[in-house]
A and B are shown apart, each in its own frame.
Chain A
Amino acid sequence: MSDKIKIQVEDVNVFYGDIQALFDVTLDIKSKEITSLIGPSGCGKSTFLRCMNRMNDVIDGCRVEGKITIDGENIYDADKDPVLLRARVGMVFQKPNPFPKTIFENVAYGPKIHGLASNTSELREIVENSLEQAGLMDEVKDRLNDSATDLSGGQQQRICIARAIAVNPEIILMDEPCSALDPIATARVEELMGNLSNNYTIVIVTHSMQQAARVSTNTAFFHLGHLVEFNATKQIFTNPSDKRTEDYITGKVG
Chain B
Amino acid sequence: MNEHIVSSYDEDIKDLQEQVVAMGGLVEKIWMDAMDCVKNANDKAALQVIESDKKIDSMELKIYDKSMRLLALRSPLASDLRIVVSAMRMASSLERLGDHAKNIARREKLISTGDHPEIISLLTRMYDLSHSALQQAINAYRNSNPGSAEEIRANDARVDELFDSTVAIVLNLMAPKNPPLETEALASLLFIAKSLERMGDMTTNIAEIIIFQETGSFPTDERPRGKDHQGGLMESLAEKEKDI
Contacts and interface: CB of A to CB of B under 8 A. Distances in A.
Partners in one complex: yes
A247 B4 CA distance: 8
Contacts of B4: 250-253
Interface string A226-254: 00000000001111100001110111111
Contact of A249 (B1, B5, B6, B78): B78
A210 interface: yes
Interface string B1-36: 111111001000000000000000000000000000
A240 B5 contact: no
B81 interface: yes
Nearest to B76: A250
Given A209-B77, A237-B77, A251 B82 contact: no
A253 B77 contact: no
B215 interface: no
A251 B3 CA distance: 8
Chain A, interface size: which category? 10 to 19
B3 A238 contact: no
A250 B12 CA distance: 14
Contacts of A209: 75, 77
A253 B5 contact: yes
A213 interface: yes
A237 B75 CA distance: 11
Interface string B83-125: 0000000000000000000000000000000000000000000
Contact of B5 (A238, A245, A252): A252
Contacts of B81: 237-238
A239 B78 contact: yes
Nearest to A243: B2
Assign chain B's interface to a size class: 10 to 19
A253 B2 CA distance: 6
B75 A246 contact: no
Given A238-B82, A239-B82, A251-B9, A213 B2 contact: no
A97 B5 CA distance: 34
Contacts of A250: 4, 76-80
B75 A252 contact: no
A4 to B, nearest CB: 30
B6 A251 contact: yes
Nearest to A210: B75
- Name the residue among B1, B6, B82 with the largest chain A CB count within 10 angstroms: B1
Contact of B79 (A210, A246, A254): A246
A54 B4 CA distance: 37
Interface in B141-171: none
Nearest to B9: A251
Given A209-B77, A237-B77, A252 B2 contact: yes
Contact of A254 (B2, B6, B9, B77): B2
Given A236-B78, A250-B4, 11 more contacts: A209-B75, A209-B77, A237-B78, A238-B81, A238-B82, A250-B78, A250-B80, A251-B5, A251-B9, A252-B3, A253-B5
21 contacts: A209-B75, A210-B75, A213-B77, A236-B78, A238-B77, A238-B78, A238-B81, A238-B82, A240-B78, A245-B78, A246-B78, A246-B79, A249-B77, A250-B76, A250-B77, A250-B79, A252-B3, A252-B4, A253-B2, A253-B4, A253-B5
